[in-house]
């Protein structure tokens, strides 16, 4: 075999072998629940905002409509996809976007919850399956954010609280937009600071929100502030 042809063959094989290494990597968003900056787990007892004993028994929420931006311009979006994050299943707390989704971006936008069209489409499958415990009924739709637990300051029986935040009909829509500036491109940790939610709770007035309405809409507006990029 001529030397020149052999060299070209070796070069072609080398390119094929190493091509995957130079392709875009997956983008992973890891969501970490925390309380006043400290990682928490279910049934763990972090200190509450008033020094009370508080623990989380259930935390589930929907994230959808991910859009990536660069310098204010949209570079990629995820269509018709809904992610149910469940603190009980750590595998759900990371969302992976396959390589090629976006090579260069500086901002990620997403929605906490589900849009109105999804809510009127009836019972769906996958993460939207009613067996996930996040669906009320066709006239009430999906629960966008569910948090349950114990607080010694909660006056309910057993000191148990339940906040099921949902609703898509005006004037009590609860889906909320989140905007996160990012610098990391592949492994991105997003902290979910739950203390900010409880700082908006007056236990004497609200500890059991289980349907759409004014209180659910009020609490929904506090949710975007829970999400922020982890600072080393």
- pLDDT by residue (tens digit) across 122-178? 767 899 999 999 999 867 899 999 999 999 999 999 999 999 999 999 999 999 999
Q: Mean pLDDT throughout 96-105?
A: 82
Tokens of residue 136, six digits: 């009320």
Q: CA–CA separation, 177 vs 23, rounded Å?
A: 31
SS3 196: helix
Q: CA–CA separation, 117 vs 128, rounded Å?
A: 13
- What are the extents of the domains in the chain? 27-229
Q: CA–CA separation, 79 vs 162, rounded Å?
A: 31
pLDDT recorded at residue 204: 86
pLDDT recorded at residue 144: 97
Reported pTM:
0.86
pLDDT recorded at residue 124: 79
Q: What are the Cα distances from residue 19, in Å, to 11, 12, 13, 104? A: 12, 10, 10, 19
């Amino acid at each position: 075999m001529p030397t020149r042809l052999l060299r070209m063959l070796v070069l072609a094989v080398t390119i094929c072998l190493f091509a995957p290494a130079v392709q875009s990597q997956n983008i992973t968003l890891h969501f970490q629940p925390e309380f006043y900056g400290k990682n928490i787990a279910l049934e763990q007892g972090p200190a509450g905002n008033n020094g009370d004993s508080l623990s989380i028994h259930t935390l589930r929420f929907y994230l959808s409509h991910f859009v990536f931006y660069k310098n204010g311009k949209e570079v990629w979006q995820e269509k018709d996809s809904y992610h149910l994050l469940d603190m009980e299943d750590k595998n759900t707390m990371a969302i992976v976007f396959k390589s090629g989704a976006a090579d260069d971006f500086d901002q990620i936008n997403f929605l906490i919850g589900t849009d109105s069209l999804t809510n009127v489409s009836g019972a769906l499958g996958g993460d939207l399956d009613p067996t996930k415990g996040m669906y009320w009924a066709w006239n009430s739709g999906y629960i966008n954010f569910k948090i349950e637990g114990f607080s010694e300051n909660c006056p309910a029986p057993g000191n148990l609280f339940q906040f099921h935040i949902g609703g898509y009909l005006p004037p009590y829509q609860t889906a909320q937009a989140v905007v996160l500036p990012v610098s990391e491109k592949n492994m991105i940790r997003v902290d979910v600071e739950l203390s900010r939610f409880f700082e908006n709770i007056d236990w004497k007035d609200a500890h059991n929100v289980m349907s759409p309405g004014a209180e659910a809409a009020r609490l929904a507006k506090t949710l975007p502030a829970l999400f922020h990029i982890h600072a080393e």
